[in-house]
Amino acid sequence: VIAAISVRFVYPAFQLEGRPFWFILSDPVPQREMCRKKLGLFIPPVLVLALILNYLSNRYMSPPPFLFYLSFGYILLVSFVSPLAALYLGTRKIDFHETPNPYGGMGGITAMLAMLSYAAVSLGLMAWSSSSLLFFVQRKIMVPFSVQMRAAAVYLLIAAGSLLLMRFLFRGTIRNLENIEL
């Protein structure tokens, strides 16, 4: 849901500026600041929606406490990665001569596939480590230290990888904005 909303609203954010975008690019405000302002506009509503959906799904499924809190940490990452990925891919090949079509165009499909790939890899890693923890928690057996360390390492790997990905996407978006030809 978060990926679809990001593709629908964030992906065409710069392209919707249209041909007068040259005026914005000629402004003395750096592209970094402009990109931060766009993200400041889009991330809070995406984050609020993601947290509400996560809370409601957790209330419905009633997972063990560690999965409940883990899901909130993960949804924070997704709420930042998805808009950044949509913004990055939306600025890669901007064409101001045609109207943006995030769902029908190849760029929108690519953005959606990129976000779904991120979710598949990170959720796969998280499910692999969480399943062993869940096995012990459900049987009310003390979780071995090695299983706890493996899960913590996987969670840290996902967080660090996501932070690096966000940095790459932000810098790439700025680079894309600097290379726009009108």
> What pLDDT, in 10s, does the model give residues 84-121?
999 898 888 776 666 666 665 777 888 889 999 999 99
Q: What is the pTM of this model?
A: 0.84
**Higher-confidence residue: 32 or 19?**
32
Q: Can you give the pLDDT at residue 11?
A: 84
Q: Return the pLDDT at 22.
A: 65
Percent of the chain with pLDDT over 70: 88
Amino acid 102: pLDDT? 61
pLDDT computed for residue 96 by the predictor: 67
- Which pLDDT score, from 0 to 100, does residue 7 have? 87
pLDDT of residue 76: 93
Give whichever of 30-44, 46-60, 125-139 has the largest mean pLDDT.
Answer: 46-60
Question: Could you tell me which residue, 79 or 13, shows the higher pLDDT?
Answer: 79
Q: Ranked by mean pLDDT, which of 65-69, 97-101, 125-129, 168-172 comes out on top?
A: 168-172
According to DSSP H, which parts of the chain are helical? Answer: 2-5, 21-25, 31-61, 65-92, 106-138, 145-178
pLDDT at residue 167, as a whole number:
96
Compute the average pLDDT of residues 162-182.
88
Residue 17 token pair: 């500026």
Which residues contact residue 136 at a Cβ distance below 8 angstroms, ignoring those fewer than 6 apart? 142, 143, 144, 147
The burial of 11, by beta-carbon neighbours within 10 Å (0-12 exposed, 13-18 middle, 19 or more buried), is given as buried
Average pLDDT (132-152) is 87
